[in-house]
Structure 1
Amino acid sequence: MFRPSVWLLLLLPACFFPDSLEHFVHGHGGGIGVPWNYRRNFFNPWLQHQLVPDILFTPPPAVLQMVYNNSYPVNFGTVLTPTQVQSKPTFLRWPCRGDSLYTLVFLDPDVPSRENMTLRSFQHWLVGNIPGCHVHRGTTLTQFIGSGPQEGSGLHRYTYLIYLQPKEIEFDEPKISNTSAVERPFFNLMDFAAKYWLTLLAGNFYRAEYDSYVPTLYAQLGITSA
Structure 2
Amino acid sequence: MATSVDPLIVGRVIGDVVDMFVPSVNMSVYFGTKHVTNGCDIKPSIALDPPRVTLTGNMDNLYTLVMTDPDAPSPSEPSHREWIHWIVTDIPGGTNPHRGKEILPYVGPRPPVGIHRYILVLFQQKGPLGLVEQPPSRASFNTRYFARQLNLGLPVATVYFNSQKEPASRRRT
The one of 144, 149, 156 aligned to 2:116: 156
Measured against aligned partners, the alpha-carbon deviations of 1:12-69 in whole angstroms (never above 9, x if no partner) come to xxxxxxxxxxxxxxxxxxxxxxxxxxx1338710110111111111145144211111
Give TM-score scaled by structure 2 length: 0.88
Measured against aligned partners, the alpha-carbon deviations of 1:171-195 in whole angstroms (never above 9, x if no partner) come to 34227xxxxxx71111111111011
Q: Does 1:205 align with 2:160?
A: yes
- Aligned to 2:68, what secondary structure does the other structure show? strand
Larger helix share, 1 or 2: 1
- Aligned to 1:171, what secondary structure does the other structure show? coil
Larger strand share, 1 or 2: 2
Equivalent position of 2:101 in the other structure: 139
Q: Does 1:66 align with 2:29?
A: yes
The one of 18, 38, 52 aligned to 2:14: 52
Equivalent position of 1:93 in the other structure: 54
Q: Partners in 2 of 1:137 and 1:93 — Cα distance?
A: 11
Q: Partners in 1 of 2:147 and 2:129 — Cα distance?
A: 12
Measured against aligned partners, the alpha-carbon deviations of 1:84-131 in whole angstroms (never above 9, x if no partner) come to 1111113x1233210111101011110011111110111111011112
Q: Does 1:169 align with 2:143?
A: no
Cα 1:143/1:43, change in 2 over 3 Å: closer
Q: Partners in 1 of 2:40 and 2:96 — Cα distance?
A: 24
Identity of aligned residues (%): 26
8 Å CA contact retained: 1:94, 1:202? no
Give TM-score scaled by structure 1 length: 0.68
Ranges of 4+ aligned residues in structure 1 off by more than 2 Å? 40-43
8 Å CA contact retained: 1:129, 1:168? yes
Q: Partners in 2 of 1:60 and 1:147 — Cα distance?
A: 27
Q: Following superposition of structure 1 onto structure 2, how do residues 1-226 of structure 1 map, counting pairs within 5 Å?
A: 39-41=1-3, 44-59=6-21, 61-62=23-24, 63-69=26-32, 71-90=33-52, 92-132=53-93, 133-150=95-112, 153-174=113-134, 183-199=137-153, 200-211=155-166
Of structures 1 and 2, the one scoring higher in RCO (CA 8 A, sep 6+) is 2
Equivalent position of 2:171 in the other structure: none
In structure 2, give the amino acid aligned to 1:169.
L
Which of 1 and 2 has greater Rg?
Answer: 1
Q: Partners in 1 of 2:34 and 2:78 — Cα distance?
A: 27
**C-alpha RMSD of matched pairs (Å):** 1.9
Q: Partners in 2 of 1:116 and 1:154 — Cα distance?
A: 10
